[in-house]
Amino acid sequence: MCCVSICKISKYEEVIILEIHSRNCSAKDTYKLLSGLVVPRPIALVSSKDAQGRSNVAPFSFFNVVANEPPTVMFSADKRKGEKKDTIANIETHTEFVINIVSEKMAQKMHNSAADFKKEVSEFDEVGLTPIAAQTINCDAVKESLAHLECKLDRIIKVGKSFMILGEVVHFSVDDQVYLSDYKIDIEKLQPLARLAGREYGRIHERFELERKFDPTKVIE
């Protein structure tokens, strides 16, 4: 349910603003608002293993960096048809996983991997991604990805009906073609894919730099 408020900018101009109280929205409605407003989002293509050693891969766009010391990342997921998604259940029992960075060339295969495949079905096989052994943990990475973050579970935090997974990055595996020097990444060659709303994705093709402008007497030295 929305309330409409009209704000006057000047004598001749006004703006209509929708005021939306989240408590009056369904989970589907708040998802649409969040996924449409919090953009662009990076994509974590997470590979994990179940208790039987079977590999799983699935994308998550509620994903970001939490800390750099120790290097920690997070992604979150809700339930699927009342049950935890395979990725969450896998990480609870096998606490090592890989976050594979998604480049543009991987877009369709990554998108296909989001389907609700049966537990016994290999997403790697179904969508045409190639599993390769991670360097330092017992998990598969995605060969097509240009960068892998090998993670060990830090903790799982239940937030409402969702689960937030925090993982410490214990190893970075970065393709030489996207590595510049001094631990910097060539974003033009990485071509990271961005998640928008619905079925939409974005490319990062235009960038610009800004210099901070401020009164030096008002900042902490």
| DSSP per-residue letters across the chain | -EEEEEEESSSS-EEEEEEE-GGGS-HHHHHHHHHHHS-SB--EEEEEE-TT--EEEEEESSEEEEEETTEEEEEEEEEETTEE-HHHHHHHHS-EEEEEEPBGGGHHHHHHTTS---TTS-HHHHHT--EEE-SSSSSEEETT-SEEEEEEEEEEEEETTEEEEEEEEEEEEE-GGGB-STT-B-HHHH-BEEE-STT-EEE------------GGGS--
Tokens for 176, please give them: 């030489």
104 pLDDT tier (thresholds 50, 70, 90): very high
- Pick left, alpha or beta for residue 220 (phi over 0 → left; psi -120 to 50 → alpha; otherwise beta): beta
Three-state DSSP state, 59: strand
More reliable by pLDDT, 112 or 205: 112
Residues in the chain: 221
Separation CA 92–CA 49 (nearest Å): 10
What pTM, to 2 d.p., does this model score?
Answer: 0.92
Least confident of 79-88, 94-103, 195-204: 79-88
Separation CA 73–CA 148 (nearest Å): 12
Domain limits, the chain: 1-37, 40-210
CATH of domain 40-210: 2.30.110.10
Three-state DSSP state, 55: strand
Indicate if the pLDDT at residue 1 is higher than 60: no
Indicate if the pLDDT at residue 4 is higher than 60: no
State which H helix or E strand residue 49 sits in. strand 44-49
- Interval 90-102: pLDDT, tens: 999 999 999 999 9
Is residue 122 within 8 Å of 54, Cβ to Cβ? yes
- Interval 26-74: pLDDT, tens: 999 999 999 999 999 999 999 999 999 999 999 999 999 999 999 999 9
- Interval 141-166: pLDDT, tens: 999 999 999 999 999 999 999 999 99
